[in-house]
């Protein structure tokens, strides 16, 4: 039996050796294939795993004024950034790493020149992305605009700081601080609800984006194309050479936006607003806290200046968030009051006169008696001039800003003479409300009560307030009460009168230029509509506006009658119940319009005059535009 079993055992051993031999051959063949056939591919993979890629943020495009002066640019900076180096399955390691790294960063980031240094708890919160609800994979910017000393200390200890990187980037430099802040806007971190939209456009979660003004309006042009850099790392992901970066892809700067704004005029306007508000507050000018002004070319729609007081400093936003102190500085100037509605008062009287003439309820040479007040079918309304203006025509009514004349136009348009015959309710339905709506459509033709088309993210259009069962709707609408319009609307309206009836779309961006100096977008003047009023009617009210600033009875003649630029204008005062809004609108020169302006000082003291409240701002703007030196002022 034993002899018979020996050959069988030998056969088994031979079979086993054969299997092992074949397995060894297959293994050797596989290794040879990997070495010879796939060697280059695996070498490339190994090489790639040696490096970690980091984004190089592209500089944003600049803002440049119409004369080539740089208004907003960028300045070089370093950002201390954290990216979680652990996988989603290593949460405990990631948490421990955050604690350890944060503790080490506190002394490395300490800067005696800063008012407040980051605490360990603040750094941990940033690294976790708690405030911005960031995903784990998104980089966190711990410290922007790091000093040279901070950068040097961080780089010296990079091997002890897993996930920390020093990223060179260009941060926004609002070099003129509050200059045109409400026009230009600011940058803000991407809000969580907006992240999917920006992610699809190729943004990084840590990017800052335009959040107001032109920064927001032209974000797609201002945003550059990010580059990339590679750093060599070991098996643990630590940098091998902390001083060596390998540029893989250079960032491409964003496009420059050439503005229609004139820096000199803008600065003069902003200074005039600030000085006037401050002076009125000292004089007891009522509740005055703010003011706004717009200047535009009536022939093209180019906005030459747009200012809102108080302004804010966009540099407070460069980190993407604000401290409580910074937000307190920002809040009063957050609203761009140049596109915010206010009751316009008597600035609408030119159009009221034209509507009355067009509808045939008044005649060009017709004289209407103003004795200081007028019965509005049950409500006695006063004129601003207690003794009245006497017998006056339409031009004189514009010049002297006669309310009674305009009340009369409103009453005739609303057919007040039929009120007793129909009763209030039926009369309103049949005559008053249709007249109100028709009046609105006429105003809309000139840009009042509708969007002007200004290239900003938003603009208010104002509102009309038609009150039921009262007899004063049309008379009050005729003098600019129970309605609100914006300064940019008033500037468009005056421009339309000045240029002969073309409603020009206002715009702030003249050209967009790529980094190579090529114009990729140019804004051409655009006529939104031609008004349906005749040149005779337009010329009629132009004469009235000229009388405002030149005739003894004109409400702004004291300030403008001796000016060399021959301005035509209109003052306006609107009651708000607790104060009064004061306006000046106008254009110059009268016979060859080059500039149209609108100025508002809201919440002024009751009983003042527009020429003294808003007039000095308008005077500064026009003097600056026409290069009239201060010594030439009367």
What digits encode the pLDDT tens for the residues 508-517? 999 999 999 9
Give which of 320, 268, 349 is closest to 624, Cα–Cα. 268
Which pLDDT tens digit goes with each residue over 122-144?
A: 899 888 876 666 666 677 888 88
Spatial distance between the Cα atoms of 214 and 225, rounded to a whole number of angstroms: 19
Whole-number pLDDT of residue 554: 96
> Are the CB atoms for 206 and 80 separated by under 8 Å?
no
Element (H, E) at 219: helix 219-222
Tokens of 160: 């002890």
* Residue ranges with strand state E in 45-139: 51-56, 63-64, 70-82
Q: Supply the pTM of this predicted model.
A: 0.85
Whole-number pLDDT of residue 607: 87
Give which of 14, 47, 332 is closest to 178, Cα–Cα. 332
Whole-number pLDDT of residue 46: 45
Classify residue 511 as exposed, middle or buried by CB count within 10 Å of its CB (0-12, 13-18, 19+).
middle
Q: 275 Cβ partners below 8 Å, 6+ apart? A: none
Three-class SS state of 216: helix
Q: Which residue has the tokens 């040879």?
A: 32
Whole-number pLDDT of residue 442: 98
- The segments of the chain whose pLDDT lies below 50 read 1-5, 42-43, 45-49, 237, 239, 242, 632-634
Which pLDDT tens digit goes with each residue over 385-427?
A: 999 999 999 999 999 999 999 999 999 999 999 999 999 999 9
Whole-number pLDDT of residue 242: 46
Spatial distance between the Cα atoms of 445 and 625, rounded to a whole number of angstroms: 28
Spatial distance between the Cα atoms of 286 and 283, rounded to a whole number of angstroms: 9
Length of the chain: 634
Give which of 525, 404, 503 is closest to 450, Cα–Cα. 503
Q: 291 Cβ partners below 8 Å, 6+ apart? A: 273, 276, 277, 308, 309, 337, 599, 600, 601, 602, 614, 617
Give which of 221, 226, 184, 233 is closest to 205, Cα–Cα. 226
Mean pLDDT, the chain, as a whole number? 88
Whole-number pLDDT of residue 154: 93
Whole-number pLDDT of residue 12: 66
Three-class SS state of 423: coil
Q: Report DSSP state, residue 191.
A: P
Whole-number pLDDT of residue 53: 62
Whole-number pLDDT of residue 139: 77
What domains does the chain contain, in order, with CATH numbers?
A: 59-259 (3.90.1310.10), 263-324+334-514+536-626 (3.40.710.10)
Give which of 609, 516, 504 is closest to 260, Cα–Cα. 504
């Amino acid at each position: 039996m034993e002899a018979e079993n020996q050959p069988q055992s030998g056969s088994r051993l031979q079979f086993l050796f054969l299997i092992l031999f074949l397995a060894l051959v297959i293994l050797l063949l596989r290794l040879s294939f990997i070495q010879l056939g796939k060697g280059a591919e695996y070498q490339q993979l190994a090489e790639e795993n040696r490096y970690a890629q980091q984004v190089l943020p592209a500089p944003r495009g600049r803002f440049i004024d119409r004369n080539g002066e740089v208004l907003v640019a960028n300045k070089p900076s370093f950002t201390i950034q954290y990216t979680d180096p652990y996988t989603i399955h290593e949460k405990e390691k990631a948490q421990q790493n955050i604690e350890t790294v944060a503790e080490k960063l506190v002394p490395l980031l300490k800067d005696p020149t800063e008012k407040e240094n980051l605490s360990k708890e603040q750094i941990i919160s940033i690294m976790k992305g708690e405030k911005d609800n960031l995903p784990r994979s998104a980089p966190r910017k711990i410290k922007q605009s790091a000093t040279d000393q901070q950068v040097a200390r961080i780089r010296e200890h990079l091997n002890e700081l897993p996930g920390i990187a020093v990223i060179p980037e260009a941060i926004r430099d609002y070099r003129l601080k509050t200059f045109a802040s409400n026009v230009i806007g600011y940058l803000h971190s991407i809000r969580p609800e907006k992240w999917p939209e920006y992610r699809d456009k190729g943004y990084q979660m840590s990017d800052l984006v335009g959040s107001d003004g032109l920064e927001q309006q032209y974000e797609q042009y201002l945003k550059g194309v990010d580059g990339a850099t590679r750093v060599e790392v070991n098996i643990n992901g630590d940098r091998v050479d902390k001083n060596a970066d390998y540029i893989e892809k250079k960032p491409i700067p964003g496009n420059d936006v050439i503005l229609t704004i004139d820096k000199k005029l803008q600065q003069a306007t902003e200074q005039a607003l600030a000085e006037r508000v401050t002076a009125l507050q000292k004089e007891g000018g009522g509740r005055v806290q703010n003011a706004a002004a717009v200047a535009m070319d009536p022939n093209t729609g180019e906005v030459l200046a747009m200012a809102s007081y108080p302004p804010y400093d966009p540099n407070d936003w460069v980190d993407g968030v604000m401290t409580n102190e910074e937000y307190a500085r920002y809040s009063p100037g957050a609203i761009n009051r140049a596109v915010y509605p206010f009751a316009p008062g008597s600035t609408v009287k030119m159009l009221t006169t034209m509507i009355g003439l067009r509808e045939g309820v008044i005649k060009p040479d017709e004289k209407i008696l103003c004795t200081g007040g007028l019965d509005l079918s049950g409500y006695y309304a006063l004129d601003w001039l207690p003794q009245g203006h006497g017998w006056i025509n339409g031009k004189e009514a514009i010049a002297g800003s006669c309310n009674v004349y305009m009340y009369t136009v409103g009453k005739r348009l609303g057919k007040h003479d039929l009120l007793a015959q129909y009763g209030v309710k039926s009369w309103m339905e049949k005559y008053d409300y249709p007249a109100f709506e028709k009046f609105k459509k006429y105003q809309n033709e000139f840009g009042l009560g509708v969007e002007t088309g200004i290239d900003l993210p938003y603009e208010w259009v104002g509102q009309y307030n038609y009150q039921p069962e009262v007899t004063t709707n049309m008379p009050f609408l005729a003098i600019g009460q129970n309605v609100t319009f914006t300064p940019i609307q008033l500037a468009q309206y005056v421009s339309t009168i000045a240029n002969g009836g073309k409603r020009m779309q206002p715009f702030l961006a003249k050209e967009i230029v790529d980094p190579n100096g090529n114009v990729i977008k140019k804004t051409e003047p655009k006529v939104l509509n031609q008004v349906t009023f005749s040149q005779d009617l337009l010329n009629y009210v132009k004469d009235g506006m000229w009388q405002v600033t030149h005739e003894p009875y004109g409400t702004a003649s004291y300030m403008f009658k001796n000016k060399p630029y021959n301005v035509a204008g209109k003052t306006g005062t609107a009651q708000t119940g607790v104060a009064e809004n004061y306006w000046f609108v106008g254009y110059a020169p009268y016979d060859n319009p080059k500039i149209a302006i609108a100025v508002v000082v809201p919440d002024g003291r009751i009983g003042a005059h527009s020429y003294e409240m808003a007039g000095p701002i308008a005077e500064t703007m026009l003097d600056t535009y026409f290069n009239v030196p201060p010594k030439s002022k009367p």
